[in-house]
Amino acid sequence: MIHISEADVYDVTIVGGGPAGLFSAFYSGLRELKTKIIEYHPFLGGKVNVYPEKIVWDIGAMPPLPGQQVVENMVQQGLTFDPEVVLNEEVVSIDKNEAGFFVVKASSGNVHYSKTVIVAVGGGILNPKRLPIANASDFENKNLHYTIKNLKDFKNKRVLISGGGNSATDWAKELSGIAKEVYIACRSDFSCHESQITYLQNHSVVCFTQTEIAELVANASGDRIEKVALKNRESGVKQYIPIDEVIVNHGYERDKSLLEDSPLDIQIFDHYFIAGSSSSESSISGLFAAGDILHHDGKLHLIAGAFQDAANAVNQAKLYLEPEATKTAMVSSHNEKLYGRNEKIVADLLRE
């Protein structure tokens, strides 16, 4: 039997360092729980890092900000109470030992022990769905993109976006005032907010529905896309559009191995999501979920929803560890750790 010292055991171990994981860490600190974050990537912030210039609108009481600023704010808040942070660590399974501790194993061979676990892996490891065209990989890192790091790179360019969700239409909206021409092709019908469609139609963005990329035509030297063949899936008709840049936003591959390879009998919804409650509980006592990985009937797939999941998960973890504890944390502004910071904010406001 392996001896585990108390110093090696955390109250809460959070698997995933995106919005849900970071807010879980913050709220866990409020509730004075010894906390660890384990993140696969060498950075915190999750999928928001993929969209550093995308404007994020859906966090209440916060003005629209580019993704990079949102990440910086979330990381600063998440690290307020100095949780242990382990980066570049891929969690491959979660189990429970005979002592009742969760055993969180990593591909590195490292083993992490915890009294409770919050799974906050979102859509899984960030692997964008590649364009299923034979020669697509020839143009990656040239003029075929799966994300946008700098909007200025598309100035006065002819840009085609493939995708019909909110991320794709957001890019079309942002680029409509920068690029020379913007086309957006959706393989079915658009699945974004109605206001996005209205905006695109009113700002000269050419929208194609039931349309997919059928062919990428290279230039004479063969190193860049010169034309794209768009095929209407209903009529079969193809049309060729001269293009400078292609952006593909078809979502991300979901890595199901963590839940599939964990010995625990975690109830799963739709082959990937953790089937849980609106209080972020899972089918395993002491294991909770937050963010996009969690499914329940009232689930809200927004960053704001991830924050609520996180607070619920931490509150349930606290009660699991201390059944006599209050059901929720006190208002964060009353916490001693934040008191000095709040005083400074108020003083700065009074000086303005």
Consult the annotation and say whether 39 binds a ligand: yes
Consult the annotation and say whether 292 binds a ligand: yes
Residue 308, helix vs strand vs coil: helix
Q: How many angstroms separate the CA atoms of 108 and 36, rounded?
A: 17
Consult the annotation and say whether 176 binds a ligand: no
Consult the annotation and say whether 8 binds a ligand: no
CB–CB of 12/23 below 8 Å?
Answer: no
- What one-character DSSP code corresponds to residue 140? B
- Sign, Cα dihedral of 337, 338, 341, 343: negative
**How big is the chain by its Cα radius of gyration, in Å?**
23
For residues 267-289, one letter each, b for 16 or more C-beta atoms within 10 angstroms of the residue's C-beta and e for the rest, the string is ebeeebbbebbeebbbebebbbb
Consult the annotation and say whether 91 binds a ligand: yes
Q: What are phi and psi of 109, to 5 degrees?
A: 100, -10
Q: How many angstroms separate the CA atoms of 243 and 179, rounded?
A: 11
Q: Which helix (H) or strand (E) holds 19?
A: helix 19-30
Annotated binding site: 39, 47, 51, 91, 126, 292, 333
Annotated binding site for FAD: 39, 47, 51, 91, 126, 292, 333
